[in-house]
Amino acid sequence: MATHQENSLAHAVHNLLGMKPETVITWNKAYCWAMVIFYVLLASACFTATTAIDLVKSSMAESGYDISRSDIAFLYQFIGYYALLMAGMNIGLLFVPRTKAWWLAHLINHAAGIIKCCCIPIAVPMLVMWLRKDVQALFDEGTE
């Protein structure tokens, strides 16, 4: 006999797989906006953290790590600019036409979301829904 938890999981999977392709695309747009917010916050945190390099350096020195101020600043700036680039990419993905190449770009965006631990609960279901044949077919046809 199936437990309530097993029934809930089966129901959730059925809801994901039974979703209309247009609904998947709408959720994909919401995912892209969420990633824009995530990356803008990350960039803001990195650029703000460059003002507290001495604090970071002293706490790292207490832990036994010897790293220069310029290395810390470089890391914060690199991550900040990377985050802004990724935010721009996600904004761009919201407005691209439906072609096979752009379907692949969205797929890569979902796979990149899995790398960030905090995004796994959202990125994995989005990736599963994105790999469905009926969603891919919308991009094969090039519909708008």
For 130-141, the DSSP string reads HTSHHHHHHHHH
Q: Which two tokens stand for residue 75?
A: 């890391």
pLDDT score recorded for residue 117 = 82
The pTM for the full model equals: 0.78
pLDDT score recorded for residue 10 = 55
pLDDT score recorded for residue 67 = 82
pLDDT score recorded for residue 144 = 53
pLDDT score recorded for residue 18 = 75
pLDDT score recorded for residue 2 = 54
| Closest residue by Cα to residue 103 from 74, 79, 73, 138 | 138
pLDDT score recorded for residue 48 = 92
Tokens 């892209």, located at residue: 32
Alpha helices in 18-132 (DSSP H): 21-49, 53-62, 69-93, 100-115, 120-130
- Each residue's pLDDT, cut to its tens digit, for the chain (144 residues) gives 555 555 565 556 556 667 898 999 999 999 999 999 999 999 999 999 888 888 888 887 888 888 888 888 999 999 999 999 999 999 999 999 989 999 999 999 999 888 888 888 888 889 999 999 999 999 886 555
CA dihedral 111, 115, 117, 119 (to 10 degrees): -30
pLDDT score recorded for residue 28 = 93
Amino acid at 77: Q
Cβ within 8 Å of residue 125, ≥6 positions away: 16
